[in-house]
Amino acid sequence: MTDEIDRAQEYESRMTEAAISHARANAEMAKGVPGECEFCGEWSGRLVNGACAPCRDKYKLG
């Protein structure tokens, strides 16, 4: 019985680690990706949520 619980906990912690690393990867993405701004169409080396820095200022996107 104990083994089963240990295994379940191990599985859970592995899943949590995977979730954390996935969330971390998403956070990295949120820092900025190169591409065309969805708002002004200008190319930016650092889009966050599809918006370049001037547009993030303009539309208060952070």
Which of these ranges, 2-10, 11-19, 28-36, 39-47, lies near Zn ion under the rule CB under 5 A? 39-47
Q: Does 39 bind Zn ion (CB under 5 A)?
A: yes
DSSP reduced 3-state for 35: strand
Which residue, 7 or 58, has its beta carbon nearer to Zn ion?
A: 58
* Alpha helical stretches, state H, 1-62: 2-30, 53-58
52 binds Zn ion (CB under 5 A): yes
CA atoms within 13 A of residue 30's CA, in its CB half-sphere: 8
Interface contacts to Zn ion, rule CB under 5 A: 37, 39-40, 52, 55
